[in-house]
Structure 1
Amino acid sequence: MVHILSHTAQQKQIEIVAGDTDIKDEAAHNSALSVSSEGMITMDYNKRYLVLVLEDQFVPGKELGLSLFRDIQMGTTICKDIDFPAYIRRYGRNNVAVLSVPAWDFIADDWLYSRMVILRGIENGLSMIRTARLED
């Protein structure tokens, strides 16, 4: 997958943030990669706050997902991480201008989470890009 993302980012001259299951040191993580327009991985973020039962196979991450895009401080967090205001404030304190939030909505909570993302952006003075896969 990394090769495909790298090639596409270079070919289209775009920055890509993509979610994946990342296996490191025999531990699985719910992760997101940021790939630069040069095809380089600029950030490899592991979701911090996992959904009980649904994500028991994953190990939580410990670091913020920070990267630069054309001298703009970017951040990435995944889905449920947005539930924790103190955690998202850490992105604000790191001068993140834009936070990407790949997510998986469960239809019953899609409205709630769309509003929560707006609120977290206002609280921390940053823009959000949120993409959500819907559970059918």
Structure 2
Amino acid sequence: MARILALDYGKVRTGIAVTDELQIIASGLTTVATSELPQFLRKYLATEDVERIVIGEPKQMDGTPSTSEALMQPFIAKLEKWYPNILVTRQDERFTSKLAFDSMLASGLGKKKRSNKALVDEISATIILQDYLNRK
């Protein structure tokens, strides 16, 4: 089986998570500057077999798209054009940043590490991916 990659896409940074080859475990991979995301994906996808990319879908509490969705749509269109053989799936990402912060707190990370927004984004991507796997 091929891996599943997840993105917590943001204006400044994008958190990235990936499954194992059996698609059982979601693990944080890294966080990259969003401006560098196309280069990162090109390099990663050249060396790893990925069948699907799960992208967080930001929604308001009432289920309507959040304002950041408009920023994501052009990237998603490019992604589907660049990698037509890789499925792109959306996953509701409400509360993932809060859950990421709570998990950092529960794991005993110090205040300095908890303020690391890149780590929060990576953990958020992992939560998005795990939620997708649980739904699947």
TM value normalised by structure 2: 0.38
Normalized per residue, the structure richer in helix is: 2
TM value normalised by structure 1: 0.38
